[in-house]
Amino acid sequence: MTSQRTILVTGGNRGLGLETARQLAAAGHFVYLGCRNPDKAAAAAASISASHVVPLQIDLDHPETFEPAARLIHERHGRLDVLVNNAGVMLEEDIMADSTSTVPASVLYRSFHTNFFGTVGLTNRLLPLLLRSDAPRIVIVSSNVGSLQMRSQGEPLMKTFAYNSSKTALNSYTVHLANAYAHTPLKVNAAHPGWVKTDMGTSYAPMEIPEGAETILWLATLPEDGPNGGFFHKKTPVAW
Ligand SMILES: NC(=O)c1ccc[n+]([C@@H]2O[C@H](COP(=O)([O-])OP(=O)(O)OC[C@H]3O[C@@H](n4cnc5c(N)ncnc54)[C@H](OP(=O)(O)O)[C@@H]3O)[C@@H](O)[C@H]2O)c1
């Protein structure tokens, strides 16, 4: 495995994405900071202040941004070693309420549009570049609220139906993709970061951002004998 990996982190301008990018850059990797807003991207890249961190416009709601991003990575590096699918939205306003029967169709649609269709579309566009790597890795930043097993066992999880279901769909994609490329060196895993103090996680969350980034960083830098097709929190499997 090459020591300096070429890595794309989506949603890289704040929260878990920015921290993940910061730590990967500090470890010497080349990091593309995928952000939907070019100004926020430039500011985030400047905050890391490393020549091997480059902002890249990627908006999961606008698939037309995927092609130029893929072309630029291809021209500059010829391959992508790691894709961290971190960007995501939680659109339900009251995260404590059960929205199962009340969520507006528009919220359900937009949640899936960004979190699921956007992530799948971007990943599928970048797969040819990932398959040019000698040790490609894909991290899908999911959440344990997408776990059907935990929910059906009555675990006290948030009941934000649109967000949770979009993560369940991403879990399904994780398993499908891992199986589809099991004959290659590609490893695809889903991460549950924990409940983390970010804009999405709110200040009520118990975990600080660096701790939340741990699972993502571990899966992004898995060695050859690491897992494939799993769902993890802090190196421990999470129930699907
Ligand atoms: N925090 C938690 O407790 C927690 C728990 C479990 C899972 N997660 C997951 O962790 C990931 C990161 O969340 P976070 O807590 O760091 O949240 P955050 O601070 O709200 O950051 C979300 C990031 O996603 C980006 N984003 C949103 N919509 C986008 C789009 N259409 N295209 C591209 N980027 C977009 C945002 O960019 P803008 O600044 O442009 O909006 C931002 O960079 C998410 O997938 C989330 O579901 C978080």
15 lines ligand 1 (CB under 6 A): yes
Domain assignment present for residue 221? The answer is: yes
Q: Check the CA dihedral 62-22-88-124 and report its sign.
A: positive
Q: Tell me: the pLDDT tens digits for 18-41?
A: 999 999 999 999 999 999 999 999
**102-125 burial: b if 16+ Cβ within 10 Å, else e:** ebeeebbebbbebbbbbbbebbee
CA of 171 to the centre of ligand 1 (A): 17
Q: Which of 23, 48, 89 to mutate to test the pocket of ligand 1 (most atoms within 8 A of CB)?
A: 89
CA of 31 to the centre of ligand 1 (A): 18
Domain assignment present for residue 58? The answer is: yes
70 lines ligand 1 (CB under 6 A): no
pLDDT attached to residue 169: 98
The token duo for 9 is 């982190």
Nearest atom in ligand 1 to 194's CA: 5
Domain assignment present for residue 224? The answer is: yes
17 lines ligand 1 (CB under 6 A): yes
Q: What is the DSSP string of 150-209?
A: HHHTT------HHHHHHHHHHHHHHHHHHHHTTTSS-EEEEE---SB-STTT-TT-SB-H
Integer Cα distance of 19 and 214 in angstroms: 10
Confidence of residue 68 (pLDDT cuts 50, 70, 90): very high
pLDDT attached to residue 173: 98
Closest Cα to residue 193, out of 172, 176, 181, 207? 207
Domain assignment present for residue 129? The answer is: yes
Domain assignment present for residue 1? The answer is: no
Confidence of residue 45 (pLDDT cuts 50, 70, 90): very high
Tally of domains in the chain:
1
CA 204 to chain centre: 22
| Percent of the chain topping pLDDT 90 | 96
Closest Cα to residue 190, out of 85, 115, 74? 85
pLDDT attached to residue 50: 79
Question: Domain holding 121: CATH number?
Answer: 3.40.50.720
Residue nearest to atom 45 of ligand 1 (CA): 88
Q: What is the DSSP letter of 146?
A: G
- Read off the pLDDT of each residue in 135-146 and give the average, rounded to a whole number: 98
pLDDT for 57 beyond 80? yes
215 lines ligand 1 (CB under 6 A): no
Domain assignment present for residue 12? The answer is: yes
Confidence of residue 156 (pLDDT cuts 50, 70, 90): confident
Residue nearest to atom 46 of ligand 1 (CA): 88
Residue nearest to atom 47 of ligand 1 (CA): 88
Q: Tell me: the pLDDT tens digits for 85-118?
A: 999 999 999 988 999 999 999 999 999 999 999 9
Closest Cα to residue 128, out of 179, 87, 83, 173? 83
pLDDT for 171 beyond 80? yes
pLDDT for 6 beyond 80? yes
Integer Cα distance of 105 and 161 in angstroms: 11
Pairing outcome for strands 236-237 and 30-35? unpaired
Domain assignment present for residue 48? The answer is: yes
List the domain range (segments joined by +) for residue 38. Answer: 6-237
